[in-house]
Chain A
Protein backbone atom coordinates (compact mmCIF):
# COMPACT_ATOMS: atom_id res chain seq x y z
CA UNK A 1 0.00 0.00 0.00
CA UNK A 2 2.84 2.28 0.89
CA UNK A 3 4.48 1.52 -2.42
CA UNK A 4 1.29 2.35 -4.17
CA UNK A 5 1.11 5.61 -2.33
CA UNK A 6 4.52 6.44 -3.61
CA UNK A 7 3.35 5.90 -7.14
CA UNK A 8 0.75 8.64 -6.74
CA UNK A 9 3.00 11.04 -4.88
CA UNK A 10 5.54 13.44 -6.19
CA UNK A 11 8.58 14.33 -4.18
CA UNK A 12 7.10 17.79 -3.61
CA UNK A 13 3.77 16.50 -2.28
CA UNK A 14 3.10 17.36 1.36
CA UNK A 15 1.74 14.68 3.72
CA UNK A 16 -1.67 16.48 3.74
CA UNK A 17 -1.88 16.51 -0.02
CA UNK A 18 -0.92 12.87 -0.08
CA UNK A 19 -3.79 12.06 2.25
CA UNK A 20 -6.24 14.00 0.10
CA UNK A 21 -5.05 12.21 -3.02
CA UNK A 22 -5.54 8.81 -1.40
CA UNK A 23 -8.98 9.77 -0.18
CA UNK A 24 -9.99 11.03 -3.61
CA UNK A 25 -8.81 7.83 -5.19
CA UNK A 26 -10.72 5.78 -2.63
CA UNK A 27 -13.89 7.72 -3.42
CA UNK A 28 -13.48 7.25 -7.17
CA UNK A 29 -12.82 3.53 -6.81
CA UNK A 30 -15.81 3.17 -4.46
CA UNK A 31 -18.06 5.01 -6.87
CA UNK A 32 -16.95 2.85 -9.77
CA UNK A 33 -17.50 -0.29 -7.72
CA UNK A 34 -20.96 0.86 -6.67
CA UNK A 35 -21.84 1.75 -10.25
CA UNK A 36 -20.68 -1.62 -11.49
CA UNK A 37 -22.57 -3.48 -8.76
CA UNK A 38 -25.84 -1.66 -9.40
CA UNK A 39 -25.49 -2.01 -13.17
CA UNK A 40 -24.87 -5.74 -12.79
CA UNK A 41 -27.88 -6.16 -10.49
CA UNK A 42 -30.13 -4.23 -12.87
CA UNK A 43 -29.09 -6.30 -15.86
CA UNK A 44 -29.59 -9.54 -13.91
CA UNK A 45 -33.06 -8.50 -12.79
CA UNK A 46 -34.08 -7.59 -16.35
CA UNK A 47 -36.15 -10.24 -18.08
CA UNK A 48 -34.51 -11.52 -21.20
CA UNK A 49 -36.74 -11.60 -24.26
CA UNK A 50 -36.56 -14.37 -26.79
CA UNK A 51 -37.31 -13.87 -30.49
CA UNK A 52 -41.07 -13.86 -31.01
CA UNK A 53 -41.66 -13.13 -27.34
CA UNK A 54 -42.79 -9.60 -28.10
CA UNK A 55 -45.85 -8.60 -26.20
CA UNK A 56 -46.97 -5.00 -26.40
CA UNK A 57 -49.54 -4.29 -23.74
CA UNK A 58 -51.94 -2.12 -25.73
CA UNK A 59 -54.13 0.14 -23.64
CA UNK A 60 -57.70 -1.04 -23.72
CA UNK A 61 -59.29 -0.57 -27.17
CA UNK A 62 -56.79 2.01 -28.42
CA UNK A 63 -55.82 1.09 -31.95
CA UNK A 64 -53.07 2.64 -34.06
CA UNK A 65 -52.68 2.68 -37.82
CA UNK A 66 -50.25 4.16 -40.31
CA UNK A 67 -50.35 4.85 -44.02
CA UNK A 68 -48.89 7.11 -46.71
CA UNK A 69 -51.33 9.51 -48.34
CA UNK A 70 -50.87 12.89 -50.07
CA UNK A 71 -47.15 12.29 -50.26
CA UNK A 72 -46.84 12.20 -46.50
CA UNK A 73 -47.07 9.94 -43.46
CA UNK A 74 -50.43 9.40 -41.78
CA UNK A 75 -50.88 8.18 -38.20
CA UNK A 76 -54.16 7.37 -36.48
CA UNK A 77 -55.03 6.44 -32.89
CA UNK A 78 -58.60 5.36 -32.34
CA UNK A 79 -60.40 4.38 -29.16
CA UNK A 80 -63.37 2.29 -30.23
CA UNK A 81 -64.31 -1.37 -30.18
CA UNK A 82 -64.19 -1.40 -33.97
CA UNK A 83 -61.04 0.75 -34.00
CA UNK A 84 -59.21 -1.29 -36.64
CA UNK A 85 -62.17 -1.07 -38.95
CA UNK A 86 -62.43 2.71 -38.44
CA UNK A 87 -58.73 3.15 -39.18
CA UNK A 88 -59.12 1.19 -42.40
CA UNK A 89 -62.20 3.22 -43.39
CA UNK A 90 -60.44 6.53 -42.70
CA UNK A 91 -57.45 5.42 -44.79
CA UNK A 92 -59.85 4.73 -47.66
CA UNK A 93 -61.50 8.11 -47.10
CA UNK A 94 -58.11 9.85 -47.29
CA UNK A 95 -57.23 8.07 -50.53
CA UNK A 96 -60.58 9.19 -51.95
CA UNK A 97 -59.92 12.81 -50.92
CA UNK A 98 -56.48 12.63 -52.51
CA UNK A 99 -57.94 11.23 -55.73
CA UNK A 100 -60.54 14.00 -55.78
CA UNK A 101 -58.34 16.97 -54.85
CA UNK A 102 -54.69 16.30 -55.69
CA UNK A 103 -53.67 18.29 -58.77
CA UNK A 104 -51.29 15.45 -59.60
CA UNK A 105 -54.08 12.87 -59.99
CA UNK A 106 -55.75 12.41 -63.38
CA UNK A 107 -59.46 13.05 -63.13
CA UNK A 108 -59.21 15.08 -59.91
CA UNK A 109 -61.14 18.36 -59.61
CA UNK A 110 -58.06 20.59 -60.05
CA UNK A 111 -56.69 18.37 -62.85
CA UNK A 112 -59.95 18.73 -64.80
CA UNK A 113 -60.06 22.52 -64.27
CA UNK A 114 -56.36 22.93 -65.14
CA UNK A 115 -56.77 20.87 -68.33
CA UNK A 116 -59.53 23.26 -69.53
CA UNK A 117 -57.58 26.45 -68.71
CA UNK A 118 -58.15 29.00 -71.47
CA UNK A 119 -60.69 26.70 -73.10
CA UNK A 120 -63.91 26.60 -71.07
CA UNK A 121 -65.33 26.75 -67.54
CA UNK A 122 -65.64 23.44 -65.70
CA UNK A 123 -68.82 22.68 -63.79
CA UNK A 124 -68.37 20.83 -60.52
CA UNK A 125 -70.62 19.66 -57.69
CA UNK A 126 -72.01 22.18 -55.20
CA UNK A 127 -69.89 20.65 -52.44
CA UNK A 128 -66.70 20.84 -54.51
CA UNK A 129 -67.53 24.39 -55.54
CA UNK A 130 -68.00 25.43 -51.94
CA UNK A 131 -64.50 24.21 -51.07
CA UNK A 132 -62.91 26.09 -53.95
CA UNK A 133 -64.97 29.18 -53.12
CA UNK A 134 -63.75 29.08 -49.51
CA UNK A 135 -60.08 28.81 -50.50
CA UNK A 136 -60.54 31.51 -53.16
CA UNK A 137 -62.22 33.84 -50.66
CA UNK A 138 -59.41 33.26 -48.20
CA UNK A 139 -56.87 34.05 -50.94
CA UNK A 140 -58.73 37.31 -51.66
CA UNK A 141 -58.82 38.10 -47.91
CA UNK A 142 -55.02 37.74 -47.77
CA UNK A 143 -54.68 39.95 -50.87
CA UNK A 144 -52.94 37.14 -52.71
CA UNK A 145 -50.30 36.35 -50.10
CA UNK A 146 -52.00 32.95 -49.90
CA UNK A 147 -52.79 32.05 -53.49
CA UNK A 148 -54.45 28.90 -54.80
CA UNK A 149 -52.80 29.47 -58.21
CA UNK A 150 -49.25 29.19 -56.82
CA UNK A 151 -48.77 25.81 -58.54
CA UNK A 152 -46.45 26.96 -61.40
CA UNK A 153 -44.05 28.29 -58.76
CA UNK A 154 -44.29 25.10 -56.66
CA UNK A 155 -43.52 22.97 -59.71
CA UNK A 156 -40.57 25.17 -60.69
CA UNK A 157 -38.90 24.92 -57.28
CA UNK A 158 -39.87 21.24 -56.93
CA UNK A 159 -38.60 21.25 -53.36
CA UNK A 160 -40.05 17.87 -52.40
CA UNK A 161 -38.22 16.07 -55.23
CA UNK A 162 -34.99 15.61 -53.30
CA UNK A 163 -33.08 17.05 -56.29
CA UNK A 164 -34.17 20.69 -56.01
CA UNK A 165 -32.01 23.58 -57.24
CA UNK A 166 -32.53 27.33 -57.03
CA UNK A 167 -34.21 28.36 -60.29
CA UNK A 168 -32.93 31.33 -62.31
CA UNK A 169 -34.56 34.72 -61.74
CA UNK A 170 -35.94 34.59 -65.30
CA UNK A 171 -37.65 31.27 -64.67
CA UNK A 172 -39.11 32.52 -61.40
CA UNK A 173 -40.39 35.65 -63.11
CA UNK A 174 -41.93 33.53 -65.88
CA UNK A 175 -43.65 31.22 -63.35
CA UNK A 176 -44.98 34.23 -61.43
CA UNK A 177 -46.67 35.51 -64.59
CA UNK A 178 -49.06 32.54 -64.28
CA UNK A 179 -49.81 33.18 -60.61
CA UNK A 180 -52.62 35.47 -59.51
CA UNK A 181 -56.25 35.47 -58.44
CA UNK A 182 -57.21 37.60 -61.45
CA UNK A 183 -56.71 34.46 -63.56
CA UNK A 184 -59.71 32.72 -61.93
CA UNK A 185 -63.40 33.23 -62.68
CA UNK A 186 -65.90 31.62 -60.34
CA UNK A 187 -69.58 31.34 -61.27
CA UNK A 188 -71.76 30.89 -58.18
CA UNK A 189 -74.85 30.12 -60.28
CA UNK A 190 -73.37 27.53 -62.60
CA UNK A 191 -70.96 26.23 -59.93
CA UNK A 192 -68.15 26.45 -62.44
CA UNK A 193 -64.49 27.44 -62.37
CA UNK A 194 -62.58 28.94 -65.27
CA UNK A 195 -58.86 29.63 -65.57
CA UNK A 196 -58.24 32.30 -68.18
CA UNK A 197 -55.23 30.82 -69.99
CA UNK A 198 -53.23 27.63 -70.33
CA UNK A 199 -50.44 27.42 -67.77
CA UNK A 200 -52.56 28.80 -64.91
CA UNK A 201 -53.17 25.98 -62.44
CA UNK A 202 -55.04 25.35 -59.22
CA UNK A 203 -53.29 23.51 -56.40
CA UNK A 204 -54.83 22.72 -53.02
CA UNK A 205 -51.61 21.52 -51.41
CA UNK A 206 -51.81 24.36 -48.88
CA UNK A 207 -55.27 23.42 -47.67
CA UNK A 208 -55.87 19.76 -48.49
CA UNK A 209 -54.37 18.15 -45.39
CA UNK A 210 -56.36 20.37 -43.03
CA UNK A 211 -59.51 19.56 -44.96
CA UNK A 212 -58.69 15.83 -44.93
CA UNK A 213 -58.13 15.61 -41.16
CA UNK A 214 -61.39 17.49 -40.56
CA UNK A 215 -63.21 14.98 -42.76
CA UNK A 216 -61.61 12.16 -40.77
CA UNK A 217 -62.67 13.85 -37.53
CA UNK A 218 -66.30 13.99 -38.67
CA UNK A 219 -66.11 10.34 -39.66
CA UNK A 220 -64.83 9.31 -36.20
CA UNK A 221 -67.57 11.34 -34.52
CA UNK A 222 -70.33 9.90 -36.72
CA UNK A 223 -68.98 6.38 -36.18
CA UNK A 224 -69.30 6.67 -32.42
CA UNK A 225 -65.60 6.46 -31.58
CA UNK A 226 -64.93 7.38 -27.94
CA UNK A 227 -61.78 9.16 -28.99
CA UNK A 228 -59.55 9.49 -32.02
CA UNK A 229 -56.55 11.33 -33.30
CA UNK A 230 -55.12 11.64 -36.79
CA UNK A 231 -51.97 13.26 -38.13
CA UNK A 232 -51.21 13.99 -41.78
CA UNK A 233 -47.94 15.85 -41.97
CA UNK A 234 -48.38 19.18 -40.21
CA UNK A 235 -52.14 18.73 -39.76
CA UNK A 236 -53.63 16.95 -36.76
CA UNK A 237 -57.24 16.46 -35.65
CA UNK A 238 -58.42 15.12 -32.32
CA UNK A 239 -61.79 14.19 -30.87
CA UNK A 240 -62.96 12.71 -27.56
CA UNK A 241 -60.67 11.01 -25.07
CA UNK A 242 -58.41 7.97 -24.90
CA UNK A 243 -58.48 5.08 -22.42
CA UNK A 244 -56.11 5.66 -19.52
CA UNK A 245 -55.10 3.75 -16.42
CA UNK A 246 -57.83 2.01 -14.44
CA UNK A 247 -60.35 2.53 -17.22
CA UNK A 248 -60.36 6.29 -16.77
CA UNK A 249 -60.57 8.43 -19.90
CA UNK A 250 -57.87 11.00 -20.45
CA UNK A 251 -57.26 13.74 -23.00
CA UNK A 252 -55.04 13.15 -25.99
CA UNK A 253 -51.76 15.06 -25.79
CA UNK A 254 -50.31 16.68 -28.90
CA UNK A 255 -46.61 17.50 -28.93
CA UNK A 256 -45.71 20.58 -30.95
CA UNK A 257 -42.55 19.94 -32.90
CA UNK A 258 -39.41 21.79 -31.89
CA UNK A 259 -38.62 23.77 -35.07
CA UNK A 260 -34.91 23.64 -34.23
CA UNK A 261 -34.86 19.94 -33.35
CA UNK A 262 -35.57 16.66 -35.08
CA UNK A 263 -39.06 15.38 -35.94
CA UNK A 264 -39.27 13.65 -32.56
CA UNK A 265 -38.42 16.70 -30.48
CA UNK A 266 -41.22 18.91 -29.16
CA UNK A 267 -41.24 22.21 -27.32
CA UNK A 268 -44.69 22.02 -25.77
CA UNK A 269 -47.81 19.95 -25.32
CA UNK A 270 -51.34 20.91 -26.29
CA UNK A 271 -54.37 19.19 -24.79
CA UNK A 272 -57.55 19.72 -26.75
CA UNK A 273 -60.48 17.93 -28.39
CA UNK A 274 -62.76 18.31 -31.40
CA UNK A 275 -60.32 20.62 -33.11
CA UNK A 276 -57.95 20.66 -36.06
CA UNK A 277 -54.36 21.71 -35.39
CA UNK A 278 -52.18 22.85 -38.32
CA UNK A 279 -48.50 23.72 -38.10
CA UNK A 280 -46.18 25.40 -40.59
CA UNK A 281 -42.48 26.13 -40.51
CA UNK A 282 -39.36 26.18 -42.60
CA UNK A 283 -38.28 22.89 -40.96
CA UNK A 284 -40.88 20.81 -42.78
CA UNK A 285 -39.34 20.44 -46.24
CA UNK A 286 -36.31 22.23 -47.55
CA UNK A 287 -33.02 21.91 -49.38
CA UNK A 288 -29.64 23.59 -49.02
CA UNK A 289 -27.59 25.23 -51.75
CA UNK A 290 -24.31 27.06 -51.16
CA UNK A 291 -25.01 27.03 -47.43
CA UNK A 292 -28.44 28.68 -47.81
CA UNK A 293 -31.61 26.87 -46.74
CA UNK A 294 -34.57 27.09 -49.13
CA UNK A 295 -37.84 25.89 -47.59
CA UNK A 296 -41.13 24.90 -49.16
CA UNK A 297 -43.41 27.82 -48.17
CA UNK A 298 -43.19 29.92 -51.32
CA UNK A 299 -44.22 33.57 -51.28
CA UNK A 300 -46.33 34.37 -54.38
CA UNK A 301 -45.34 38.02 -54.00
CA UNK A 302 -41.61 37.36 -54.52
CA UNK A 303 -41.41 33.90 -56.09
CA UNK A 304 -38.92 32.79 -53.40
CA UNK A 305 -39.33 30.93 -50.09
CA UNK A 306 -41.08 33.26 -47.63
CA UNK A 307 -38.77 35.22 -45.34
CA UNK A 308 -40.36 34.96 -41.93
CA UNK A 309 -39.22 35.95 -38.46
CA UNK A 310 -41.13 32.96 -37.09
CA UNK A 311 -39.64 29.54 -36.46
CA UNK A 312 -43.04 27.87 -36.53
CA UNK A 313 -46.72 28.54 -36.17
CA UNK A 314 -49.61 26.37 -35.05
CA UNK A 315 -53.26 27.26 -35.65
CA UNK A 316 -56.12 25.58 -33.79
CA UNK A 317 -59.62 25.73 -35.28
CA UNK A 318 -62.75 23.70 -35.89
CA UNK A 319 -62.44 24.47 -39.61
CA UNK A 320 -59.67 22.30 -41.10
CA UNK A 321 -59.56 24.06 -44.46
CA UNK A 322 -59.24 27.48 -42.84
CA UNK A 323 -56.74 26.14 -40.30
CA UNK A 324 -54.32 24.92 -42.98
CA UNK A 325 -54.59 28.13 -45.04
CA UNK A 326 -54.15 30.28 -41.94
CA UNK A 327 -50.99 28.56 -40.76
CA UNK A 328 -49.31 29.12 -44.16
CA UNK A 329 -50.44 32.76 -44.40
CA UNK A 330 -49.54 33.64 -40.80
CA UNK A 331 -46.11 32.05 -41.19
CA UNK A 332 -45.45 34.24 -44.24
CA UNK A 333 -46.78 37.34 -42.47
CA UNK A 334 -44.50 36.81 -39.48
CA UNK A 335 -44.77 38.00 -35.90
CA UNK A 336 -46.47 41.33 -36.63
CA UNK A 337 -49.34 39.55 -38.40
CA UNK A 338 -49.54 37.01 -35.58
CA UNK A 339 -49.85 39.81 -33.00
CA UNK A 340 -52.69 41.36 -35.04
CA UNK A 341 -54.62 38.07 -35.01
CA UNK A 342 -53.61 36.54 -31.69
CA UNK A 343 -57.10 36.53 -30.20
CA UNK A 344 -59.65 35.76 -32.89
CA UNK A 345 -63.05 34.16 -32.24
CA UNK A 346 -62.76 31.30 -34.76
CA UNK A 347 -59.15 30.21 -34.30
CA UNK A 348 -56.27 30.25 -31.82
CA UNK A 349 -52.53 30.59 -32.38
CA UNK A 350 -49.27 29.29 -30.93
CA UNK A 351 -46.33 31.01 -32.65
CA UNK A 352 -42.60 30.65 -32.02
CA UNK A 353 -40.45 33.65 -32.90
CA UNK A 354 -36.75 33.70 -33.78
CA UNK A 355 -35.75 34.28 -30.15
CA UNK A 356 -37.57 31.08 -29.04
CA UNK A 357 -40.40 33.03 -27.44
CA UNK A 358 -43.83 31.41 -27.70
CA UNK A 359 -46.82 33.64 -28.45
CA UNK A 360 -50.11 32.21 -27.27
CA UNK A 361 -53.78 33.11 -27.76
CA UNK A 362 -55.42 33.88 -24.41
CA UNK A 363 -57.89 30.97 -24.69
CA UNK A 364 -55.01 28.46 -24.81
CA UNK A 365 -53.80 29.26 -21.30
CA UNK A 366 -54.26 26.06 -19.33
CA UNK A 367 -54.34 23.72 -22.34
CA UNK A 368 -50.81 24.42 -23.58
CA UNK A 369 -47.71 23.72 -21.51
CA UNK A 370 -44.07 24.28 -22.38
CA UNK A 371 -41.86 21.23 -22.08
CA UNK A 372 -39.43 21.43 -19.18
CA UNK A 373 -35.93 22.14 -20.39
CA UNK A 374 -37.03 22.87 -23.96
CA UNK A 375 -35.26 26.23 -23.97
CA UNK A 376 -38.41 28.02 -25.10
CA UNK A 377 -40.29 30.56 -23.00
CA UNK A 378 -43.70 32.16 -23.11
CA UNK A 379 -43.76 35.71 -24.47
CA UNK A 380 -44.93 38.36 -22.01
Chain B
Protein backbone atom coordinates (compact mmCIF):
# COMPACT_ATOMS: atom_id res chain seq x y z
CA UNK B 1 0.00 0.00 0.00
CA UNK B 2 2.83 2.36 0.92
CA UNK B 3 4.52 1.57 -2.34
CA UNK B 4 1.30 2.26 -4.19
CA UNK B 5 0.88 5.66 -2.49
CA UNK B 6 4.50 6.52 -3.15
CA UNK B 7 4.10 5.65 -6.78
CA UNK B 8 0.74 7.34 -7.33
CA UNK B 9 0.81 10.36 -4.97
CA UNK B 10 0.54 12.83 -7.85
CA UNK B 11 -2.60 11.35 -9.39
CA UNK B 12 -5.13 12.88 -6.90
CA UNK B 13 -3.39 16.23 -7.32
CA UNK B 14 -3.73 15.96 -11.07
CA UNK B 15 -7.42 15.16 -10.69
CA UNK B 16 -7.91 18.13 -8.40
CA UNK B 17 -6.16 20.44 -10.84
CA UNK B 18 -8.29 19.08 -13.68
CA UNK B 19 -11.44 19.65 -11.63
CA UNK B 20 -10.46 23.26 -10.86
CA UNK B 21 -9.59 23.95 -14.48
CA UNK B 22 -12.83 22.41 -15.58
CA UNK B 23 -14.80 24.52 -13.13
CA UNK B 24 -13.12 27.70 -14.37
CA UNK B 25 -13.83 26.69 -17.96
CA UNK B 26 -17.48 26.08 -17.14
CA UNK B 27 -17.82 29.48 -15.52
CA UNK B 28 -16.36 31.13 -18.60
CA UNK B 29 -18.40 29.18 -21.10
CA UNK B 30 -21.88 29.43 -19.71
CA UNK B 31 -23.97 32.32 -18.57
CA UNK B 32 -24.55 33.04 -14.91
CA UNK B 33 -28.10 33.76 -13.77
CA UNK B 34 -28.96 37.36 -14.54
CA UNK B 35 -26.62 37.72 -17.53
CA UNK B 36 -28.55 39.06 -20.49
CA UNK B 37 -28.25 40.42 -24.01
CA UNK B 38 -30.01 43.79 -24.18
CA UNK B 39 -31.24 44.84 -27.61
CA UNK B 40 -32.09 48.45 -28.39
CA UNK B 41 -33.76 49.87 -31.47
CA UNK B 42 -33.26 53.61 -32.04
CA UNK B 43 -32.17 53.95 -28.44
CA UNK B 44 -35.12 52.15 -26.83
CA UNK B 45 -34.76 48.74 -25.17
CA UNK B 46 -36.92 46.33 -27.19
CA UNK B 47 -35.70 42.97 -25.91
CA UNK B 48 -33.74 41.39 -23.08
CA UNK B 49 -32.77 37.74 -23.45
CA UNK B 50 -31.03 35.67 -20.78
CA UNK B 51 -27.71 34.34 -22.03
CA UNK B 52 -28.63 30.82 -20.95
CA UNK B 53 -31.60 30.72 -23.35
CA UNK B 54 -29.89 29.40 -26.47
CA UNK B 55 -31.61 30.00 -29.76
CA UNK B 56 -32.00 32.38 -32.68
CA UNK B 57 -34.21 35.38 -32.03
CA UNK B 58 -35.64 38.10 -34.23
CA UNK B 59 -37.10 41.47 -33.34
CA UNK B 60 -40.86 41.92 -33.48
CA UNK B 61 -40.29 45.47 -34.69
CA UNK B 62 -37.99 44.34 -37.54
CA UNK B 63 -37.90 40.56 -38.08
CA UNK B 64 -34.96 40.88 -40.47
CA UNK B 65 -32.77 41.67 -37.45
CA UNK B 66 -31.68 38.36 -35.99
CA UNK B 67 -29.32 37.41 -33.22
CA UNK B 68 -28.26 34.14 -31.67
CA UNK B 69 -27.63 33.11 -28.08
CA UNK B 70 -25.20 30.20 -27.74
CA UNK B 71 -22.93 28.99 -24.93
CA UNK B 72 -23.64 32.06 -22.82
CA UNK B 73 -22.79 34.52 -25.60
CA UNK B 74 -24.78 36.55 -28.10
CA UNK B 75 -24.15 37.70 -31.67
CA UNK B 76 -25.95 39.27 -34.59
CA UNK B 77 -26.53 36.71 -37.34
CA UNK B 78 -27.75 36.82 -40.97
CA UNK B 79 -27.28 40.60 -41.10
CA UNK B 80 -28.60 41.97 -44.40
CA UNK B 81 -26.95 45.39 -44.05
CA UNK B 82 -24.17 46.17 -46.57
CA UNK B 83 -21.20 46.41 -44.21
CA UNK B 84 -22.04 43.52 -41.81
CA UNK B 85 -19.95 45.21 -39.12
CA UNK B 86 -22.43 44.07 -36.46
CA UNK B 87 -22.17 40.42 -37.51
CA UNK B 88 -18.39 40.58 -37.74
CA UNK B 89 -18.23 41.42 -34.04
CA UNK B 90 -18.93 37.75 -33.38
CA UNK B 91 -20.20 36.29 -30.11
CA UNK B 92 -20.04 38.60 -27.10
CA UNK B 93 -20.22 37.48 -23.48
CA UNK B 94 -18.41 40.01 -21.30
CA UNK B 95 -20.11 42.81 -19.43
CA UNK B 96 -20.52 45.96 -21.52
CA UNK B 97 -19.49 44.40 -24.84
CA UNK B 98 -21.58 45.92 -27.60
CA UNK B 99 -22.23 45.24 -31.27
CA UNK B 100 -23.96 47.96 -33.25
CA UNK B 101 -25.79 47.91 -36.57
CA UNK B 102 -25.68 51.56 -37.59
CA UNK B 103 -27.81 51.22 -40.76
CA UNK B 104 -30.63 49.62 -38.74
CA UNK B 105 -29.98 51.64 -35.55
CA UNK B 106 -29.86 48.45 -33.48
CA UNK B 107 -27.45 47.63 -30.66
CA UNK B 108 -26.75 44.44 -28.72
CA UNK B 109 -25.12 44.90 -25.31
CA UNK B 110 -24.11 42.28 -22.76
CA UNK B 111 -25.20 43.09 -19.22
CA UNK B 112 -23.95 40.76 -16.51
CA UNK B 113 -25.07 40.45 -12.92
CA UNK B 114 -22.83 41.74 -10.16
CA UNK B 115 -19.46 43.44 -10.31
CA UNK B 116 -17.36 43.30 -13.45
CA UNK B 117 -13.68 43.81 -14.16
CA UNK B 118 -14.47 45.07 -17.64
CA UNK B 119 -14.11 48.80 -18.48
CA UNK B 120 -17.21 50.97 -18.23
CA UNK B 121 -16.89 51.92 -21.90
CA UNK B 122 -14.63 51.13 -24.82
CA UNK B 123 -13.67 53.87 -27.25
CA UNK B 124 -14.77 53.21 -30.83
Shortest distance in angstroms between B97's beta carbon and chain A's nearest beta carbon? 4
Shortest distance in angstroms between B86's beta carbon and chain A's nearest beta carbon? 9
A65 in contact with B26 given A49-B52, A263-B89 (CB within 8 Å):
no
Alpha-carbon separation in the docked complex, A43 to B33 (Å): 11
* CB pair A91 B43 closer than 8 Å: yes
Quick check: is A346 within 8 A (CB to CB) of the other chain? no
Helix, strand, loop or mixed for chain A's interface? mixed
* CB pair A264 B123 closer than 8 Å: no
A229 in contact with B43 given A30-B11, A35-B22, A163-B82 (CB within 8 Å):
no
Residues of chain B within 8 A (CB-CB) of A266 are 119, 122-123
Quick check: is B5 within 8 A (CB to CB) of the other chain? no
* CB pair A71 B121 closer than 8 Å: no
Residue of B nearest to A35 (CB): B22
Alpha-carbon separation in the docked complex, A252 to B121 (Å): 9
* CB pair B19 A34 closer than 8 Å: yes
* CB pair A38 B26 closer than 8 Å: yes
Residues of chain B within 8 A (CB-CB) of A67 are 42-43
Residues of chain A within 8 A (CB-CB) of B62 are none
* CB pair A68 B26 closer than 8 Å: no
Alpha-carbon separation in the docked complex, A75 to B103 (Å): 17
* CB pair B100 A73 closer than 8 Å: yes
Alpha-carbon separation in the docked complex, A163 to B26 (Å): 42
Residues of chain A within 8 A (CB-CB) of B50 are 49, 53-54
| Docked complex: B80-121 residues within 8 A CB-CB of A | 81-83, 85, 88-90, 92, 94, 97-100, 102-103, 105, 107, 109, 111, 113-115, 118-121
Residue of A nearest to B117 (CB): A253
Alpha-carbon separation in the docked complex, A34 to B107 (Å): 40
Residues of B in contact, count (CB < 8 Å): 50
Shortest distance in angstroms between A294's beta carbon and chain B's nearest beta carbon? 13
Quick check: is A206 within 8 A (CB to CB) of the other chain? no
Cβ-neighbour of B89 out of A46, A75, A252, A264 (below 8 A) = A264
Cβ-neighbour of B124 out of A57, A65, A253, A263 (below 8 A) = A263
Shortest distance in angstroms between B39's beta carbon and chain A's nearest beta carbon? 10
| Docked complex: A33-67 residues within 8 A CB-CB of B | 34-35, 37-39, 42-43, 46-49, 51, 53-57, 65-67
| Docked complex: B1-58 residues within 8 A CB-CB of A | 11, 14-15, 18-19, 22-23, 26-27, 30, 32-34, 36, 40, 42-43, 48, 50, 52-53
Alpha-carbon separation in the docked complex, A51 to B103 (Å): 30
* CB pair A49 B53 closer than 8 Å: yes
Residues of chain B within 8 A (CB-CB) of A68 are 42-43, 102, 105
Q: In which size bucket is the chain A interface? A: 35 or more
Q: Count chain A CB atoms within 10 A of each CB in B14, B33, B52, B121 and give the residue with the most.
A: B121
Alpha-carbon separation in the docked complex, A284 to B100 (Å): 13
Residue of B nearest to A74 (CB): B43
Listed A/B pairs (30) with beta-carbon separation below 8 Å: A30-B15, A42-B26, A42-B27, A46-B30, A46-B33, A49-B33, A49-B34, A54-B34, A57-B34, A67-B43, A68-B102, A71-B102, A73-B98, A231-B121, A231-B123, A234-B123, A245-B115, A252-B120, A253-B119, A253-B120, A254-B120, A254-B123, A256-B122, A256-B123, A262-B90, A263-B85, A263-B99, A264-B92, A264-B97, A269-B119
Given contacts A54-B36, A262-B90, 6 further A-B contacts (CB under 8 A): A38-B22, A49-B53, A66-B107, A72-B102, A234-B123, A263-B124
**B residues at A contact (CB < 8 Å):** 11, 14-15, 18-19, 22-23, 26-27, 30, 32-34, 36, 40, 42-43, 48, 50, 52-53, 81-83, 85, 88-90, 92, 94, 97-100, 102-103, 105, 107, 109, 111, 113-115, 118-124
**Which 4 A/B pairs are nearest by Cβ-Cβ distance?**
A255-B119, A162-B82, A67-B43, A255-B122
**A residues at B contact (CB < 8 Å):** 27, 30-31, 34-35, 37-39, 42-43, 46-49, 51, 53-57, 65-68, 71-75, 77, 91, 162-163, 229, 231, 233-234, 236, 242, 245, 252-257, 262-264, 266, 269, 277, 279, 284, 314
